[in-house]
Amino acid sequence: MKKKFLLFVFALTAACGSFANNVVVSSVSLGPKVTTGALATHYTRVNYDITWENSWRTSTNESNYDGCWIFVKYRKQSTSAWQHATINMAGQTAPTGSTIKTAADGKGVWMYRSADGIGTVTWAGSGLRWDYGADGVLDNENVEVRVYAVEMVFVPQSPFNLGNASAENGKFRDGLVNTWFPVLSEDAITCGTGAGELRADLYFDVSGTIPAAFPKGYNGFWTMKYEFSNQQVVDFLNTLDQTNANVRNSVGATGSVPNMIVSFPERAADLLNVANFLAWIDWAAMRPMTELEYEKACRGGNNIPVPLEYAWGNTTISGISSPSNTGLANETWANGNANYAGNPAFAMRTGALATASSNRTSSGGTFYGIMEMSGNLFELVITAGNDAGRSFDGKNGDGILTATAESNTPNWPSVTNNLAMVVRGGNLFSGIAELQICDRSNGFLDYSSNYGNRGGRATRTAE
């Protein structure tokens, strides 16, 4: 992540960051204070420029778009604790060609194209209204501010088909007939072995229901375009105290907070355990994806499942080979569309297969343009197979962690709810069967135990 610093009129220091594959936030500045009325109404404007590659918006076929989830952290310079800034629902500055939509909880904004188009976007003069008074910052306090942007993809509301009629291991299916299961709403789903009920061939309790609150993929949601990168993890670590940073350091970062660094910052990050994964997501005010949303994000709405398909919608697969600039920001692979079967035996750069000329199969992209959902690193997702997972109600994180840098959002997986997650999509050492969209062969995960090759991405419910 690139950072720049400058001095604000009441001693606010602003930093900016590129927080995914080829997104750059620059020229951060803060406008004058507005101090009329009670302290809670005092605000300033966080100004920035932003650019990223391979952006799109389309009104046909996928009918979706990419964008960025943008959020702000601040730290009073008399303390070491970073806090999540509150963004006002109104008062944003969206440059021509862009839309800025503020989340209802004020934890951040989505920024995306306002009309159809494709290619690099560059928007100078963007701005967010930060209600610093509502966050308890006094007009004369010294505060350091950091702005983060995460590349996301919007998955629109639509029905979709879950599971398959083919031989994927542990797949979802209709309770009676060996075929896929249509998800037609966010209503509760009855589990069982009867026609029109949902079952799975492995790791699935056929009794009870999947509650209406459990995100099923019918409603719209945003998810990260790429897996977590090593640099994203380090940027998170650098907002923690040293003790907690050491605990959450799954990527071999060296140095001390706030200047920890990592080798191969562009590579997909091995998060090792569920606790690390959920801490980052809660810190960024997002949430985990469910395994139903995983299948929707791969297959798309209203599409008939292809037998044994991978995330790119067919069974054409070849391992990556012939790399250039391995481990660098411009790492590419001349051949292949998936990292699996132990060759090259390390995670590739996030987004390495997506180029201006690649198609869905050659890039390994999903129906909606999400990268690396089959292979590279496992996708950590909430299971629909047991009561622990079914208790997840889709709450977004609030940007606040516990004193030990753990997530604390109600009904998320935790030490006491530690069978709520599974992995999907396979990893760099998996055989090809694990890369299939519907493969559910990887059971349950202990919350805090360390195992390799777990990556993942954050999601947020659309509004």
| 170, 375, 381, 384 from 206: Cα distances, Å | 13, 29, 20, 11
Average pLDDT, the chain: 94
- Rounded-to-integer distance, Cα 223 and Cα 425, Å: 15
- What are the two backbone dihedrals, phi and then psi, of residue 190, each rounded to the nearest 5 degrees? -80, 130
Axis crossing angle, helix 274-283 with helix 230-237, rounded to the nearest 10: 70
Q: Are residues 214 and 142 in the same domain?
A: no
Q: Are residues 331 and 308 in the same domain?
A: yes
Whether the pLDDT of residue 16 is over 90: the answer is: no
Q: Are residues 101 and 203 in the same domain?
A: no
Question: Could you count the other beta carbons within 10 Å of the beta carbon of residue 398?
Answer: 15
- Rounded-to-integer distance, Cα 333 and Cα 320, Å: 6
CA angle, 70 then 73 then 78, to 5°: 170
Per-residue exposure over 111-143, b if at least 16 CB sit within 10 Å of its own CB, e if not: bbbeeeeeeebebeebbbbbbbbbbebeeeeeb
The last residue of a domain, from among 155, 180, 212: 155
Summarize the confidence of residues 301-320 as an average pLDDT.
98
pLDDT of residue 385: 97
Q: Do the domain assignments include residue 240? A: no
pLDDT of residue 228: 94
Whether the pLDDT of residue 363 is over 70: the answer is: yes
Summarize the confidence of residues 425-435 as an average pLDDT.
97
Strand segments (E) across 176-238: 181-183, 189-190, 198-200, 209-210, 221-224
Phi-psi map region of 58: left, alpha, beta (phi>0 left; psi -120 to 50 alpha): beta
CA angle, 380 then 382 then 385, to 5°: 125
Whether the pLDDT of residue 19 is over 70: the answer is: no
Quote the domain boundaries for residue 162: 158-229+266-463
Summarize the confidence of residues 185-190 as an average pLDDT.
98
Q: Which CATH number is 419's domain given?
A: 3.90.1580
436 CB-side CA count, 13 A: 24
- What are the two backbone dihedrals, phi and then psi, of residue 228, each rounded to the nearest 5 degrees? -50, 140
Q: Are residues 134 and 164 in the same domain?
A: no
Q: State the pLDDT confidence band at 459, using cuts at 50, 70 and 90.
A: very high
Any idea what DSSP says for residue 279? H
Is the model more confident about 354 or about 288? 288
* Both tokens assigned to 304: 């008939």
Q: Do the domain assignments include residue 117? A: yes
Q: Are residues 72 and 184 in the same domain?
A: no
Residue 160, classified by CB atoms within 10 Å of its CB into exposed (0-12), middle (13-18) or buried (19+), is buried
Q: Can you tell me whether residue 191 is helix, strand or coil?
A: strand
- Rounded-to-integer distance, Cα 50 and Cα 396, Å: 25
Phi-psi map region of 176: left, alpha, beta (phi>0 left; psi -120 to 50 alpha): alpha
Q: State the pLDDT confidence band at 14, using cuts at 50, 70 and 90.
A: low
Is the model more confident about 237 or about 5? 237
Cα–Cα nearest to 383, from 216, 229, 268, 239: 216
Q: Do the domain assignments include residue 244? A: no
Q: Are residues 38 and 128 in the same domain?
A: yes
> How many domains in the chain?
2
Contact criterion met (CB below 8 Å) for 254 and 273? no
Q: State the pLDDT confidence band at 6, using cuts at 50, 70 and 90.
A: very low
Q: Are residues 185 and 146 in the same domain?
A: no
What are the helix and strand counts (H, E) for the chain? 6, 22
Contact criterion met (CB below 8 Å) for 261 and 234? yes
- What are the two backbone dihedrals, phi and then psi, of residue 155, each rounded to the nearest 5 degrees? -105, 110
Q: Are residues 316 and 385 in the same domain?
A: yes
Q: Do the domain assignments include residue 238? A: no
Q: Are residues 31 and 180 in the same domain?
A: no
Question: Residues near 8 by Cβ (< 8 Å), separated by ≥ 6?
Answer: 14, 29, 30, 44
| 57, 180, 224, 386, 412 from 392: Cα distances, Å | 31, 23, 20, 11, 6
Q: Do the domain assignments include residue 1? A: no
Summarize the confidence of residues 384-391 as an average pLDDT.
97
Contact criterion met (CB below 8 Å) for 284 and 363? no
Whether the pLDDT of residue 138 is over 90: the answer is: yes
Q: State the pLDDT confidence band at 172, using cuts at 50, 70 and 90.
A: very high
The last residue of a domain, from among 110, 129, 155: 155
Contact criterion met (CB below 8 Å) for 273 and 449? yes
Strand segments (E) across 289-330: 321-324
Cα–Cα nearest to 392, from 273, 298, 293, 276: 293
Q: Are residues 24 and 151 in the same domain?
A: yes
β-strands 12-16, 143-155: how paired? parallel
Contact criterion met (CB below 8 Å) for 155 and 223? yes
Q: Do the domain assignments include residue 292? A: yes
Cα–Cα nearest to 347, from 265, 245, 280: 265
Whether the pLDDT of residue 21 is over 70: the answer is: no
Q: Do the domain assignments include residue 260? A: no
Q: Do the domain assignments include residue 250? A: no
pTM: 0.95
The last residue of a domain, from among 110, 136, 155: 155
Q: Are residues 400 and 424 in the same domain?
A: yes
Cα–Cα nearest to 353, from 381, 387, 312, 392: 312
pLDDT of residue 446: 87
Whether the pLDDT of residue 1 is over 50: the answer is: no
Q: Can you tell me whether residue 275 is helix, strand or coil?
A: helix
Q: Are residues 218 and 311 in the same domain?
A: yes
* Both tokens assigned to 406: 């753990």
